[in-house]
Structure 1
């Protein structure tokens, strides 16, 4: 007797749907095994399976009571279940059923006598396989048991849907990470490629500016100044691009113990600080365990801003630090032009530039303070600002650290 089930009319679409779940030949998962065990207990059968049918085989995502992982589709009871319009197939005695009496799974191991299967229907109505229970002796299920199997079948599909979404999310995150890495590498390479010739142009512009000033050519000198200021603005933008393109995980990854006073003085020595700038440092010796390169980048940004946005004859910058337990609070205070109240809320947003020009009549790039905020948060802290227009600003940030006397 031919016991091979006919193919569903939507077989092509059904196989495509099955493939979209990327579940065939996957490893066992506890969430599915728990549903299989529950089906066995509810129905009182020694065997319970979650089966999935591809073009040639019946594969078991979860199995209880048998050792094999798959069978030929031609022998599968579940191949009949997925074409049943009710989505439920019960075979009380397979040995007396003409469809299955000569089936190798009936005449041989696992010696199926009783079978009850529930189609696993996707939200689009595609039957991918079944949740089934099997016994080696003829028997029946009551209405409550069949209802319970239907509920468990829906839970199997719900779990498959969740698994599918998680796989999609992981793949999306992987692609985003690859794109992000490419963009970071591109930004770094592009900025470096532009920065090198720009340095030569900047030096030439400075020489030209001094030459025109010494020669008394005021018109030419003014044009050269415009050119030089434009170059400085471009150089600032490129430096900010380089800073922001560096992954914060790299900047904040390695911690070391630093003495804050000497560290700050060394950082300041790296900057081109005008003679009219006076900087005060913490008086108490403080040691902090943190990422030196990240803290240095934070301080360079804050100190540079304090100098750039200052219109006073003498630029005053005061750096204070207070350590309580493992939290260090560092404040950079200046007497600069300040920040208007309506601009304080968005000052740390990336690509946001304030309606304020610096002492060189240049606007910011909208990258520097966004980088500072990102690095501070990666160091486990927060940053805030208090400011009064024409009086000055105070940037305070916290980082996880330690203090030694």
Structure 2
């Protein structure tokens, strides 16, 4: 008899891989995001942060992503000059919208682990190669780091970059995204302290 699949996960019975990790902090994170007023609306400051993140890393897509129990919300989004567009079929130019389910992409792994994740070629990792974003959007590489809440210590979300080609992020890319995630975490803390979010 096999063990039950944890709540709020996806499971591929053909490969026996847990594709979306169990997220025990989700209810507390949802409450904290509501308290902060994050994860429901786009924020111009976060869009600007995402644009700078894309330019710094050389990625065509970047996001400031907050994750609840069922979905991901890109409060900051840069999509190579195409903000606000919806997820399209693989025959069209790869595009991304403001929301995704928890089963799409790699940020849920970063949030649960509370550690940065670098995938220079997602196809090199069977656990990640089967993610829907590979076939639906054509994502081939990913790099993300958690946004750690200074008050609670939990990961509220991520900053991340993706590319439709393989991308050699390297150690420099990892150091950069971790540093920028810390900067944005500090900024969120400052905004809360000042009562501006």
Query: Match for residue 71 of structure 2?
Result: 57
Alignment of 1:101 with 2:115, yes or no, is no
Tell me, in whole angstroms, the C-alpha distance in 1 between the residues paired with 2:132 and 2:23: 23
Tell me, in whole angstroms, the C-alpha distance in 2 between the residues paired with 1:158 and 1:83: 20
Query: Match for residue 185 of structure 2?
Result: 157
Correspondent of 1:77 among 92, 96, 106: 106
Tell me, in whole angstroms, the C-alpha distance in 2 between the residues paired with 1:40 and 1:63: 10
Tell me, in whole angstroms, the C-alpha distance in 1 between the residues paired with 2:111 and 2:64: 13
CA contact 1:17–1:126 (8 Å) conserved in 2 = no
Correspondent of 1:42 among 31, 56, 76: 56
SS of 2:63 mapped into structure 1? strand
Higher RCO (C-alpha 8 Å, min separation 6): 2
Q: Structure 1, residues 20-58: CA drift from partner, whole Å, max 9, x if none?
A: 2111222331x2223212221221111111111011001
Give aligned pairs, total: 166
Q: Structure 1, residues 348-381: CA drift from partner, whole Å, max 9, x if none?
A: xxxxxxxxxxxxxxxxxxxxxxxxxxxxxxxxxx
RMSD after superposition: 2.1
Query: Match for residue 172 of structure 2?
Result: 144
Answer with 1 or 2: which has the greater Rg.
Answer: 1
Query: Match for residue 97 of structure 2?
Result: 68
Q: Structure 1, residues 50-78: CA drift from partner, whole Å, max 9, x if none?
A: 11101100110111114411100122310
Correspondent of 1:132 among 156, 160, 175: 160
CA contact 2:38–2:66 (8 Å) conserved in 1 = no
Kindly state the Cα deviation for residue 102 of structure 1 after the two structures are TM-superposed.
Answer: 2.4
Q: Name whichever structure is richer in helix by fraction.
A: 1
- Output the TM-score relative to the length of structure 2: 0.75
Query: Match for residue 27 of structure 2?
Result: 12
What runs of 5+ residues in structure 2 fail to find an aligned partner? 1-11, 80-94
SS of 2:103 mapped into structure 1? helix
Tell me, in whole angstroms, the C-alpha distance in 1 between the residues paired with 2:39 and 2:185: 14
CA contact 2:103–2:132 (8 Å) conserved in 1 = no
Tell me, in whole angstroms, the C-alpha distance in 2 between the residues paired with 1:69 and 1:37: 14
SS of 2:65 mapped into structure 1? strand
